[in-house]
């Protein structure tokens, strides 16, 4: 079969938070692999600019995933007007930085609502169609903070750890219908926001660079390429995996 098993030709992918950063990197990689991609996010101008960049095989829908009541109509709209969602990428999420003792219940709950509860709601809705068709690929975007302890991100780290539990549970229920569920745990990936954040904190920058085994930060395309693999026929017997794409950070001392 050669490289054909890595093709996403005739596939439709829904990528939440697809207008910038890792989500946009995944959308680009999917389109290069032949897929049609629908990106979502809250800011229409950002989405428009992303679709202009992505080309004719990209569309967008303005959507806030925390508004769970709108999720069924979002998925039905895509299924009816674009086509069956073969691939779901739960990329949208929010971050919160603060020591545990400074993190309020409201802050903690806000992170969990966006990064876990909304992910489950959208996954359940897309899976309703996938399970009927007996095929589909669902990807969660985790984090290094879900694989080992990192200070100042107690709420975020907990939310990303919870995604591993969600993957495990869904695998037990979805696999007999040939719907695969996996996660990618990105390492430290270059973006304007990330680079700006570490520029102002030299100690944390040193911590991070010491942790990475390779001599560079990752690119959004590194995550995109991993997503293509896990969503393709090349990974048809892979489910329940949390794949670190991290330059060796999880194993480096």
Q: Would you call 57 exposed, middle or buried from its count of C-beta atoms within 10 A (0-12, 13-18, 19+)?
A: middle
The Cα–Cα gap between 169 and 174 comes to 9
Instruction: Name the catalytic one among 30, 60, 96, 156.
Output: 156
Query: Taking the CB of residue 99, how many other CB atoms lie within 10 A of it?
Result: 10
The Cα–Cα gap between 39 and 36 comes to 10
Walk across the sheet containing 36-41 and list its strands: 58-62, 36-41, 12-16, 87-90, 136-141, 179-186, 242-245
Q: Are 141 and 186 in contact (CB under 8 A)?
A: yes
Active site residue 96: no
The first and second tokens of residue 250, run together, are 């999880």
DSSP state letter for 116: I
Which positions ≥6 away from 48 have C-beta within 8 Å? 60
Q: Phi-psi category of 218—alpha, beta or left, where left has phi over 0 and alpha has psi -120 to 50?
A: beta
Mapped onto helix, strand or coil, the DSSP state of residue 63 is coil
Enzyme catalytic residues: 156
């Amino acid at each position: 079969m050669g490289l054909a098993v890595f093709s996403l030709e005739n596939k439709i992918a829904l990528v939440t938070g697809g207008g910038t950063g890792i989500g946009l990197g995944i959308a680009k990689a999917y389109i290069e692999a032949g897929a049609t991609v629908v990106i979502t996010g809250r800011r229409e101008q950002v989405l428009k600019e992303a679709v202009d960049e992505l080309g004719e095989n990209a569309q967008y829908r303005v959507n806030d995933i925390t508004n769970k009541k709108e999720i069924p109509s979002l998925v039905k709209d895509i299924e009816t007007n674009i086509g069956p969602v073969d691939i779901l990428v739960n990329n949208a999420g929010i971050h919160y930085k603060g020591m545990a003792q400074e993190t309020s219940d409201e802050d903690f709950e806000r992170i969990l609502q966006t990064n876990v509860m909304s992910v489950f709601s959208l996954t359940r809705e897309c899976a309703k169609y996938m399970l009927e068709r007996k095929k589909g690929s669902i990807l969660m975007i985790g984090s290094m903070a879900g694989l080992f302890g990192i200070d100042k991100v107690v709420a975020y780290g907990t939310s990303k750890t919870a995604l591993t539990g969600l993957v495990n549970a869904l695998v037990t229920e979805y696999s007999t219908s040939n719907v695969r569920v996996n996660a990618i745990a990105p390492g430290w990936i270059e973006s304007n926001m990330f680079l700006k954040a570490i520029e102002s904190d030299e100690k944390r920058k040193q911590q991070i660079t010491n942790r990475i085994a390779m001599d560079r930060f990752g690119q959004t395309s590194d995550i995109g390429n991993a997503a293509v693999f896990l969503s393709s026929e090349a990974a048809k017997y892979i489910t329940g995996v949390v794949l670190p794409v991290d330059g060796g950070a999880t194993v480096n001392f």
